[in-house]
Amino acid sequence: MSYRNKFLLYSLVSVLIASSIGLGVYFGVFFEKENGETNQIVLTIEGSTSTKNFTLAEIMSFPNITGFAGYRKSTGTLVGPNLYKGAELNVLLDEVGGISPGEELEVIADDGYKVSFTSEMLNGNLPSYDNETGEYLGIGNFRIILAYEIDGIIDYGNVGLLRIAAIPIEGEDYYTDGSTWVKEVTRMSVTSDSSWIVYLYGITNDSIDKPTFEAYMHINDSELRLVYQLEEGGRINTYEGLALWRIIAIFDGELAGSLDITFNDSLATAGYNVVLKNLLEEEITLRSEDIARNDSYILAAKKNSIFLKNDVAGEGPLKLVGSSVAPLQMISKIVEIWLFLD
């Protein structure tokens, strides 16, 4: 073999050896990096019985749910569809004792943004929207997951790589409200239900609280639940609640407090005023003849799938909306409902 050929052969072998070492180092570093990042703590769940930290590897070890999904912003903008993969929230909660009636799951983002999920929300009972027009379609069935992969990509090393996603059940292609799609989730906490009470004064005196109100909205597959979309400040907000007349049926003397929510028609025909009062000591008066069995007067408890905030800045606990309600009548922060006979 000539010197030139020997030199070329030696050079080729050297390059191959160097390349092999380089590739070995690269893949070794890559594997170590990926493996190391999946074993960093990315989520803390504070349960009712225990608190547990989760690494990405641990979350990925749970049975995964994969599906196309998207959401509607309150501006009307549709986002998606994208392919999401993650673990079901209820499965993760089982690791810290689960969630019981009267409890909520507070999902907290890295920037402090919070959304509270009730058990009904965790079970996937949420408003749905057409994935092309954004038109409201009714209550859809979703699986609520904590997604770690979007369109096949996992953002390794990003503290806020986790996000809530609502996957339609049975391959449906409808969307849900973007307000529930908390991104950059780093912490979850099982808390006592942030309940409220609205007092009812009429033929009998009674009250209704948040858990009872939500239970009424889910009677017989949500047949009592009403939805009204209202444009506010360039946004289209979806309000959910119950017909005002159904709440009046609790204290109008006709089987008061019954879950059947019957209504005293003879009393409404005779005539009475319904007065709604709020935390700011404001009030409006409506007539029984107008609201009797009229589903266009709605006491809303939710806005864009989330319960109205019951604080100074919020609209909760209840707000009056509906197609028969004039803008000046859409009183919020309702805490008392009175019935005055003629």
Q: Which residues of the chain have pLDDT under 70?
A: 1-37, 157-159, 171, 255-261
Please give the CATH superfamily to which domain 197-341 belongs. Answer: Oxidoreductase, molybdopterin-binding domain (3.90.420.10)
Pair 306, 115: CB distance under 8 Å: yes
What is the predicted pLDDT for the residue at 160? 72
Residue 254 token pair: 């006709």
pLDDT (tens digit per residue) in 173-203: 899 999 999 999 999 999 887 789 999 999 9
Domain boundaries, the chain: 41-192, 197-341
Give the C-alpha distances (Å, rounded to integers) separating 75 from 55, 78, 86, 136, 232: 35, 9, 27, 14, 10
pTM score, two decimals?
0.78
Q: What is the pLDDT of residue 159?
A: 65
DSSP string for 151-216: TTB--TT-TT--EEEEEEGGG---BEEGGG--BSEEEEEEEE----EEEEESSSEEEEEHHHHHHH
Q: Which fold has domain 41-192?
A: Sulfite Oxidase; Chain A, domain 2 (3.90.420)
CB 160 within 8 A of CB 186: yes
The reported pLDDT for the residue numbered 27 is: 33
41-192 and 197-341 have identical folds? yes
Q: What is the pLDDT of residue 16?
A: 34
Are the C-beta atoms of residues 186 and 109 closer than 8 Å to each other? yes
pLDDT reported for residue 1: 43
**Consecutive H or E run containing 244:** helix 244-248
Q: What is the pLDDT of residue 314?
A: 85
> How high is the pLDDT of residue 73?
92
Measured CA to CA, the distance from residue 286 to residue 293 in angstroms comes to: 14
- Dihedrals φ, ψ of 295, to 5°? -80, 5
pLDDT of residue 219: 80
pLDDT at residue 13, as a whole number: 34
